[in-house]
Amino acid sequence: MAAESKRPARARMTGTERREQLLDVSRSLFAHKGFDGTSVEEIASRAKVSKPVVYEHFGGKEGMYAVVVDREVRLLTGALTDALTAGGHPKVLLERTALALLTYIEQNTDGFRILVRDSPVAQATGTFSSLIGDVATEVEHLLADQFTQQGLDPRTAPIYARMLVGMVALTGQHWLDSRSPAKSDVAAHLVNLAWNGLSGLERRPTLTQAPASHA
């Protein structure tokens, strides 16, 4: 009688491979269900492992989420920092920064979805608002130099930096789902508003109508 054919044994993952697999699975779940909507049971089920394996690698859902967020923060921060420090005309820097954010969204959609969610984990350093604050700090130095050259008060650069970065970030959140118009067109419109608006800044802006005082 012919010997029964046996299926080759499936190669076991190394510890590093298993860790990366769990991170990929959890990243997708966190992006679409959020932190609260994702369970260790579902992560283990998707990865085809037992719950103790998840706990062994990350100590729980919180530890896994912290690693996922940290990776995304470093990836996006690196891209934006490269764009801001590449040198060149300030308008070109603005174009590069807008494109860097939109490219990150395009290539790391799940990661961006996670970053823009409010999270109970790592609130001081892992939220999108804190990341945007870090980027704005980089931008304010560039703006301060430009303000000085144009005779504007460089002490106002921090607030303008946050206006600019916030505008780009919120536009990115909208483009995350719409993906229209094309990435280059979105970047061009962002720069059009930001740059042409900045070029006409008043030295001492005031409101046309003073706000009514309240007793």
Domain of 149, CATH number, reads 1.10.357.10
Q: Which domain holds residue 84?
A: 66-200
| Count of domains for the chain | 1
- Domain contains 70: yes
Half-sphere exposure of 213 (CA within 13 A, CB side): 1
* Residue 37 lies inside a defined structural domain of this protein: no
Q: Has residue 47 been placed in a domain?
A: no
| pLDDT tens for the chain, residues 1 to 215 | 445 555 554 558 898 999 999 999 999 999 999 999 999 999 999 999 999 999 999 999 999 999 998 899 889 888 988 888 887 888 888 899 899 999 999 999 999 999 887 554 444 455 677 778 888 888 888 888 888 888 889 999 999 999 988 898 899 999 998 999 999 999 999 999 988 887 787 888 887 776 766 65
Q: In this structure, what DSSP letter does residue 118 have?
A: -
Full-model pTM: 0.80
124 in a structural domain: yes
Question: What is the spatial distance between Cα 26 and Cα 187, in angstroms, rounded to a whole number?
Answer: 31
Q: What does the alpha-carbon distance between residue 60 and residue 38 come to, in Å, rounded to a whole number?
A: 12
